[in-house]
Structure 1
Amino acid sequence: MIKPFFKVLFLAISCLLISFSSAKDPLEEIIAGFQRYISEQPQEKVYLHTDRQTYAAGETIWLKAYLTAGPFHIPSSLSSTIYVELIGSEGELIEQHKLFTPDGFASGQLELSDSIRSGNYLLRAYTNWMRNSGEDYFFHRPIKIWNSQVISKPSTTREIELATGKVDIQFFPEGGNLVQGILSKVAFKAIGENGLGKAVKGKILEGDAVIAEFESNSLGMGVFPLLPEKGKTYQAHLEGYKMDLDLPAAQESGLVMSVSNSGKSEDIVVKIQSSENSQISKISLLAQTRGLVCASSRADLANRVVFVRIPKKEFPTGIAQITALDENGIPLAERLVFIDHQDQLSLSAVPDKSNYGPKESVLIDITAKDKAGQPVIANFSLSVFDKSQVPFDEDHETIQSNLLLSSELQGQIEKPGYYFNLENPDREVALDYLLLTQGWRKFSLKKAQSGELPKPAYRIEKGLTISGQLTDPKTDKPIASGTASYLSLFPVSESRTTTSDSQGKFEFEDLIYFDSAEVMLQGKLKNGKSTATVSADHTRRTPTLRYSILPFFSTPTVLEREFLIKSVERKNISRAFDFDEDLIALEGVEVTGTKIIDQYTGPRIYGGGSTKITVADNPALENLQHPLDLVKGRVAGVQVWGSGDTWSILIQGVSSINSSVEPLIMVDDIPIPIQGLSSIPVLEIESVSVWKGPDAAIFGSRGANGVLGFYTKRGKVQSSTPNQSDHPPVPSGYQLEKEFYSPKYEAQKPPQPRPDRRVTLFWAPDIQTDSSGKASIKFYNHDVETVIHGLIEGISKQGNPGTSRFSYKIGK
C-alpha cells in the first residue's frame, strides 16, 4: 500500500491550522479511500506506438503496445491480454486483435484491406480489467486512411473550410463557480465545425459596456478576468460571428479558489477566498496525483481569505488535483495543475552519419539515462520513415504525453505533444489553459469517501476464454454435468477438463493459444462414454464506443494527394517485381501437351457464380491467413472487413455497413455460419465463387444478400461446421507478430533492379537497452533522395517514459 504525504505550508492572512478531530473525519475517510483504490484496484493504462499517422488502403499499421499499472506507470504484470481494435467512422468494428503481454509489452500489426474506404478511423486499445473504469480509460488514437480512388476527384478548396464558419465556445470559471464580489479567472475553449480548436477573439459585455477583452491561442483556448457584481449579467461577443453568449451565472455566496503554478517556483500557491455572506468557516484541502494523496490539511476561513503554499517536491510528475472541501467532505472548488520535475527518461538516438547514399546502411546508437545521468534499462520501439512522403504532425501524441496527460483527462486532447515540446515557448501557459477547460475523469472524491470500492465487473485476464455448450447429438438438448475437454499443443502443451452446468454451459479461462486451428474441444455425456456435440461461443463482446470520431472531409490536401499518388506507384512496383529472385527466368520456352481437365468431383450444384477465384497452386493466395482474405479487394462490388472471429461482408446492393445483412456462406455447397470459416486452412481451398445480383437468384431468398462459396480440394466440411462434435472452431487466439521486412543491400552484391520507395524504412518494436543504457540498430535506406525522420519511445522498468527524435538526409 502506498503511503501518502501530508506536508503543507501555509502563508496565512488570518489562517489557522486545525488537526483532524476523529477517526471518522471525512478527510481521513477520503484519504483512506484513495489508498484502498490504488492498492486493491490499480489502474491499468495502454499506449500504442504506431509506425506513422497516415496510411493508404492495402498498407500495414505496425504497432507496439505498452501496458502499465498503478500510479507510477510500472510495466504491468496484471493483465496478459490487450485488445486492439480498428473502428470506422460510423463506429463499426473493422478489425480486432488480441495481443499477448506477459510483461507489459506486446507488438502486432493491422493489415488494411485494399478496399477499405477513405476516412477518419480510430485505434482503440484496452484490457478487460480496464473496462471496470469505463471507456474513458481506454487508449484512443485517431488515424487517417486514404484509398487511391479519391485521386480522381478534382482538387478544389478543402471541404473543411466551410463558409458558415460555425463555432462552439464554452466558459469555465477557475475552481468551478463564479461568486459575486470576488475577482475570478474565466477560461474558455472554442471548437470549430471540424471538431478541433478554433482561434477566436472578442469582448466581454455588461449591457452595452465593454468590461474585458479576450483572445485565444491557436488551439482555441484562453482566459480573461471577471469581477461579477450582484444584479448584473455578462455576455461574450465573438468578433466575426453574429452571436452573443451568456457567461455562467455568479452565485450569491460561496468561495473561489485560484492557483499559481509558476515554472520558476518550487511551490504551488493556492488562494481561497469566500464571500462576505458565506456560511463557510472551515475548509479542508486535499491534493492528489493518480490516486496518491500528496498533501492535505484544514484551515479557518473566518477572515474570508487564506493562502496555501504546497511544495511541488511532494508530487510525482503529472496532473495534480487540488480540491477544497467543506467540513462534511463535500467538494466546493477544484483545480488541476501540472507538476513537471523534468524527470522523464533522457533518451537519445543518434545516426552514425548525417548524410547517406541511397540504399546505404544506417547505424543508430541509442542511449537511455535517468535525470541524474545514470544508465537505465528500458524497453523501446523505433519508427523510421520518409517524412516527405507522408503527412506528419510534429505535436502528435507520444508515450510521455499519453501517460502523464491524455490518460488523466476526459475527451480528446488536440496536439498533446505540443505541451511537452520544449521548443514551444508558450507550452506551460497553454497547458494551464488546457487543465482549466478539460474535464477530470479519475477516481472521484465521492467514491473515496463512501468507504467501499465498487466490485469489479470485469476480471483480470491472464489468458483467453473459451465458453460454449454441450448438447446431445440425438435430441439436441443441453447436457448437464457433461465433460468438456480442451487441448492445445502450441505454444505449450496444455489440456483441461471442466463440467457443464444445468444448461450445458462450460467455460475455460486464462488459456494461452495463438492458432485457433491447433485447439481441440471435445465433449462427453455425463456417463463419459458417449460423445456430446460441442459448440463454442463466438459472440463478440465489444465495449460500446463513446469516443467521438472527427468528421472526415474527402478532399485530400496537396501533401495527402501526393502521398496517395506515391502509394499507387509503390503498388505498381510491387506487382511488377513480385517474383522470387532465386528463380531463373527462361526465354522462349514453348510448352506443348494436353490440357488437364479439372478433376474436382465435389459438390458444385449452383454453377460457377458471377466471379471465380482460383486458389490452388497460387502461392500468393495459399499463404493468406483466413478464407475471407481471398476475397478482400479482389472482387468488384464485394467489401470485406474484419479479422479473427469478427467479419463483415457486403455484396453489391447492400447500401449501409450498419445494415447487419450478411450474405449466404457455403463450403462445398453446404451453408455454414461465418464463424466456421476460421477453422478452414486456406491451403486446403481450391477456389472461391461469388454470386451477386441476378446470378444469386438460383438461391431464392437465401441469396438476397449475395453468396460466397468456398470449395475445398477434398470437398469435405467436417472441420468447418461448428455444430459437429469433433473439434469445433474456437474463438481466434492471440495474434502472431509478423516481422517487419527490411531489405539488405550488401555492397559486394550486384545492385537490385527493383526500385525502393518505402514510406516506413524501418520498424523495430522491441529494443532493450543493456546495463550501460545502450543499444544499437542497423537498417538500410531506400533509394529516394530525401529527409528521413526517426522517432523512438518507450519506458523504463521504474515507469519513466521517454521519447526522442532524429533525422538525416539521403543524397548523392
Structure 2
Amino acid sequence: MDRLNGITLFLKVLFLSIFCLFLSFSSAKDPLEEIIAEFQRYISEQPQEKVYLHTDRETYSAGETIWLKAYLTVGPFHIPSSLSTTIYLELIGSEGELIQQQKLFTPNGFASGQLELSDSVRSGNYLLRAYTNWMRNSGEEYFFHRPLKIWNSQVISEPSDIPETEFAKENLDIRFFPEGGNLVQGILSKVAFKAIGEDGLGKVVKGKILEGERVIAEFESNSLGMGVFPLLPEKGKTYLAHLEDLEGSGMELELPPAQESGLVMSVSNSCQSEDIVVKIQSNENSQISKINLLAQTRGLVCASSRADLANRVVFVRIPKKEFLTGIAQITALDENGVPLAERLVFIDHQNQLLLSAVPDKSNYGPREPVRIDITAKDKNGKPVAANFSMSVFDKSQVSFEEDQETIQSNLLLSSELRGQIENPGYYFNPENPDREVALDYLLLTQGWRKFTIKKALSGEIPKPVYRIEKGLTITGQLTDPKTNKPIAGGTASYLSLFPVSDSRTALSDSEGKFSFQDLIYFDSDEVMLQGKSKNGKTATSISVENPLNSPALKYPILPFFSTPTAAEKDFLTKSVERKNISRAFDFDEDLFSLEGVEVTGTKIIDQYSGPKIYGGGSTKITVADNTGLENLQHPLDLVKGRVAGVQVWGSGDTWSILIQGVSSINSSVEPLIMVDDIPIPIEGLSSIPVIEIESVSVWKGPDTAIFGSRGANGVLGFYTKRGKVQSMAPNRLDHPLVPKGYQIEKEFYSPKYEAKEPPQPRPDRRVTLFWAPDIQTDSSGKASIKFYNHEVETEIHGVIEGISNLGNPGASRFSYKIEK
C-alpha cells in the first residue's frame, strides 16, 4: 500500500496547487466547500484506474492470434499505473459466454499478450474485455470493451445484396435532452436528441416540432443520429416531435414537459474563445435568488463560483486553462448544495502527443525491408519519452475504420461516458470538419458521472469491496486424507522459482482454509504447494480453489449477420489459403518420415534418477530419505564440508562458494547455480526448503565442459522432488493443481528476407505484417522499427499509439504500397 499512499499524497498536493475559487468562502459549513473537500477525498482514497487495449486489428478468422498491448492508467492525469499489477483479459462470445480468460502481469502500467483462437471457434461478433480487480468497485461500465468480428471459413456462403432501408419506426429509440436538464416555461432552451436503431447504432432522422397543428421548429440529425433544435415552452401547451419517413408520414413523440419554475443553464464553448461562458436564467416563478457553480474534470475540481440571480439572468466566464483536457462537468447548485442543472463540455488544449511514424519509402517491392522512423513530441515541439505499440497490416484483407477508437479517444472520452460510443475516433479526427459540433451533441445526449454531487453531499464514500491486487491469489483447504475433515492450525507452504524465487507459509483456520495473496508466477506447473498438520506428523491432503470469477456482462453485443459481405468473403478465402500454406510448409526439411522401424539392443541400466540434460555430475549427494540432511536449514549446507575442493561459507541470505581446481575466465568466481536444470541467482536458494530437495550434483574440472563458458567456475545443481522423472503420475495430494498464472508473452513471428540468402519457397500472405508491442522513444523522442513486407502487391496501413510518462496519449497512422 506504500505506492497507494504515495499517489494519494501526490493527488492531495496537486489538488491544492490547482484549486481555484472565484469567490472566497465565509462559512465553515459552506456546502460548496464540503462538496469540494469530498471530491478531493474521493480521488485521493479511490483513484480511478483505466485499461485500454491496442489490438493488431479488429477482424480475425478461426485459428488466428489476436495480438494486443494493455495500457493501465490511474488518476485524473492518466499516468501509467503502479497500483494494480494484474489485468484480467477476457474474450466473450455473442451470447455473453466467457470464451477465454487470461491474466496479464503489469508492474509498471504496461503489458502485452495474445489470445489464440481455436479452429473451431464459431463465426460471430465477440467482445474483448479488460479490467483490474480494483476497477470492479466502479462497476462493469468502467471496464474496457472492444467489439471484434471472428469468421470461420466453414460457414462461408454467398453474399446477398440486401438493400438499405429506412428505419423501422417501431424499433427506433429516440430521446430528447434539454440542455442543463429541464425545460422551464418562458425560457428559450436548446433541446438535443438522439435516435438509435435496434442494432444499437445511430440513425439519420429528420422531422418537425409541432404545437398543435403549428410547426414551430424543424430538426435533422447528423450521420450519427444526433442533433439539436430550439424551443421556447409556454404554460399550458404541449409539444410533439413528428419524425418523417420517405412517404411523408412517420411517428410522433411527446417532448418532455416544461417545469412551471426553475432555471436553465446553457454553455458556450467556442473553440475561438479562451473562456467557457455559462448562462443561467430563471423564470418569474422561481424562488432561487443565489446559486453556486462547480466545475470539475475526472473528479478534480477546477473552478467554483457564486452568482446572484436577482435579475433572473447571470453570465459566468471560466478560463479554459483551469481545466484538464477532457470532459468537464459544470453544475449549478442552490444555496444548500442541491444540484439544479448540469452540463458536460469538452476542453481540448491540444496537448496530446504529437506522433509521427514515417516509412523510409512510399513504395516497396515484395519481401523488401521497411524502416519506420518514429518521433514523439509535445505541443511545444520538445521530445517526449513515451511507450508505444504499433500494428502494420494488409489493408486489402481487413477493413479499417478511419474513425475507430484510439487510446486518445478512449481515455479522454469513451471511458468517461456510459454505454457504447459509436465511432469514437470521429470526434478526434481533424479530417471531420464538424467533429467539435458533433462532440457537443454527444455530450448533450450521453452524459454520466461516476461520483456525483449527491454522493459528495452525503459525505459517505463507498467502501471498496475489491482490493488492489499486487499479484495473484491462491486459496485452498487442508484436510485429513483418511477422514476428509479439515485440519485447523496446519501449515501450507508455497514455493516458486520463476520469475522470482518466493517461498511462503500460511496457517489454516478452523475450517482448514488458507490463503496466499500477491503471488507472482507464470507457469503453474512450476509452483509447489504442500501441507502439514499442526504437529507435522499427520498426513494432509491439500486442495486449491480455482474459481473462474468473471463479472456479469452489461455491455451490449451487436447482432451478427451470418452472411459475409463481398470483402469479408474475400478475407475468408485468403484465410483458407494461408492455412493451406501453413499445413504444406510447417515441417522441418531436415526430417524424414519413416515407415515402421524395429529397434533391437540391450537395455542399459542407469543408476542416476535425476534429470538427464547434464548427467550426474562429478559428485552426487542424495538427500531424499536421509533425515540428517533433510533437517538442514539451507540448501548450501548440503554441500558445505561434504565435497572435496568446494568451499562454502556464509549464513542467512549471504553466501559465497568457491570450487577449486577451476580456471576462471570470468571476473567473478561464483559457480553456476541451477535448480532442476534452470539457472538461478544464489540468493534464490534461500527460498527452497531443504526437505524439497532430492539430490545435489557438483560439476568441476573437465566435467564442466558440457556447460561451455557458463560452467567456467564450476556448477552446483539442486534437483527437487517435484522435478524428478515424470514417468509416474504426480501425487496431487501433495502437489495440487494451482490456478493458472500470468500469461507468458509470445514473440510475434516476422520473417527476414536477407538478400544473400536463397529465396524462400514458402508463399507469404500475412494479414498482420508486423506487431511491435513495446516501442520506447529515447531522450530525443525517437525510435526506429524494421521489418519485411510480404509478397502481395497491395496497400499497407500502420497504426501507432501509446502514452507518455506524464499521461498524455497519442496516436498516428501511416501507409505505403507494395508494387513489383
| 1:6/1:296 contact within 8 Å kept | no
1:181 match: secondary structure: coil
Aligned to 2:713: none
**2:773 paired with 1:769:** no
| 1:46/1:66 contact within 8 Å kept | yes
Identify the match of residue 454 of structure 1 among 454, 462, 479.
Answer: 462
Aligned to 1:343: 351
- State the distance in 2 between where 1:737 and 1:566 align: 27
- State the distance in 1 between where 2:584 and 2:146 align: 35
Identify the match of residue 135 of structure 1 among 135, 140, 158.
Answer: 140
Identify the match of residue 511 of structure 2 among 503, 511, 514.
Answer: 503
Identify the match of residue 437 of structure 1 among 433, 445, 454.
Answer: 445
Read off the aligned partner of 1:3 and give its amino acid letter. Answer: F
**2:229 paired with 1:224:** yes
**2:174 paired with 1:181:** no
1:782, distance to aligned residue in structure 2 (A): 0.2
- State the distance in 2 between where 1:755 and 1:159 align: 38
**2:558 paired with 1:550:** yes
- State the distance in 2 between where 1:266 and 1:453 align: 35
- State the distance in 2 between where 1:487 and 1:715 align: 23
1:525, distance to aligned residue in structure 2 (A): 1.1
What do the CA deviations read for 1:340-395 (whole angstroms, capped 9, x no partner)? 01000111111010000000000011111111111111000000000010011111
- State the distance in 1 between where 2:150 and 2:21 align: 51
Larger radius of gyration: 2
Aligned to 1:750: 758
- State the distance in 2 between where 1:507 and 1:160 align: 58
| 1:44/1:76 contact within 8 Å kept | yes
Aligned to 1:91: 96
Read off the aligned partner of 1:36 and give its amino acid letter. Answer: R
What do the CA deviations read for 1:416-437 (whole angstroms, capped 9, x no partner)? 0000001100000000000000
Read off the aligned partner of 2:384 and give its amino acid letter. Answer: V
What do the CA deviations read for 1:304-354 (whole angstroms, capped 9, x no partner)? 100011100111110000000011111110000000010001111110100
1:595, distance to aligned residue in structure 2 (A): 11
| 2:104/2:742 contact within 8 Å kept | yes
- State the distance in 1 between where 2:410 and 2:546 align: 33
* TM-score, structure 1 as length reference: 0.82
Q: Which moved more, 1:773-782 or 1:238-247?
A: 238-247
1:725, distance to aligned residue in structure 2 (A): 1.9
Aligned to 2:328: 320
**2:568 paired with 1:560:** yes
Go from structure 1 to structure 2 and tell me whether the alpha carbon gap of 1:201 and 1:8 turns closer, same or farther (over 3 Å shift): farther
**2:479 paired with 1:475:** no
1:21, distance to aligned residue in structure 2 (A): 3.2
**2:175 paired with 1:170:** yes
| 1:6/1:297 contact within 8 Å kept | no
- State the distance in 1 between where 2:730 and 2:595 align: 39
Go from structure 1 to structure 2 and tell me whether the alpha carbon gap of 1:575 and 1:208 turns closer, same or farther (over 3 Å shift): same
**2:29 paired with 1:24:** yes
In the alignment, structure 1 segments of 5+ residues that lack a partner are 10-17, 597-712
**2:156 paired with 1:156:** no
2:573 match: secondary structure: helix
**2:15 paired with 1:3:** yes
| 2:160/2:565 contact within 8 Å kept | no
Go from structure 1 to structure 2 and tell me whether the alpha carbon gap of 1:471 and 1:48 turns closer, same or farther (over 3 Å shift): same
**2:106 paired with 1:101:** yes
What do the CA deviations read for 1:215-247 (whole angstroms, capped 9, x no partner)? 000000000001111111111111116311111
Identify the match of residue 73 of structure 2 among 49, 68, 76.
Answer: 68
| 2:344/2:447 contact within 8 Å kept | no
1:585, distance to aligned residue in structure 2 (A): 6.3
Written as runs of structure 1 = structure 2, the 5 A alignment for 1:701-720 is 717-719=729-731
Q: Which moved more, 1:159-168 or 1:229-238?
A: 159-168
2:372 match: secondary structure: strand
Aligned to 2:288: 280
Written as runs of structure 1 = structure 2, the 5 A alignment for 1:391-540 is 391-540=399-548
* TM-score, structure 2 as length reference: 0.81
Task: Give RMSD over aligned pairs.
Answer: 1.8
| 2:167/2:203 contact within 8 Å kept | no
Go from structure 1 to structure 2 and tell me whether the alpha carbon gap of 1:25 and 1:593 turns closer, same or farther (over 3 Å shift): closer
1:3 match: secondary structure: helix
**2:803 paired with 1:798:** no
Go from structure 1 to structure 2 and tell me whether the alpha carbon gap of 1:242 and 1:715 turns closer, same or farther (over 3 Å shift): farther
1:556, distance to aligned residue in structure 2 (A): 1.4
1:542 match: secondary structure: coil
Identity %: 80
1:160, distance to aligned residue in structure 2 (A): 8.2
1:84, distance to aligned residue in structure 2 (A): 0.5
2:15 match: secondary structure: coil
Read off the aligned partner of 1:42 and give its amino acid letter. Answer: P
Read off the aligned partner of 2:576 and give its amino acid letter. Answer: V
What do the CA deviations read for 1:132-179 (whole angstroms, capped 9, x no partner)? 11111111111111111221x232134986884632111111001111
| 1:183/1:227 contact within 8 Å kept | yes
- State the distance in 2 between where 1:342 and 1:458 align: 36
1:591, distance to aligned residue in structure 2 (A): 5.5
1:770 match: secondary structure: coil
2:540 match: secondary structure: strand
1:186 match: secondary structure: strand
1:731 match: secondary structure: coil
Go from structure 1 to structure 2 and tell me whether the alpha carbon gap of 1:760 and 1:259 turns closer, same or farther (over 3 Å shift): same
Identify the match of residue 212 of structure 2 among 207, 225, 232.
Answer: 207
1:531 match: secondary structure: coil
- State the distance in 2 between where 1:595 and 1:334 align: 84
Read off the aligned partner of 1:82 and give its amino acid letter. Answer: I
- State the distance in 2 between where 1:397 and 1:480 align: 53
1:592, distance to aligned residue in structure 2 (A): 7.1
Read off the aligned partner of 1:229 and give its amino acid letter. Answer: E
Go from structure 1 to structure 2 and tell me whether the alpha carbon gap of 1:585 and 1:531 turns closer, same or farther (over 3 Å shift): closer
- State the distance in 2 between where 1:737 and 1:162 align: 47
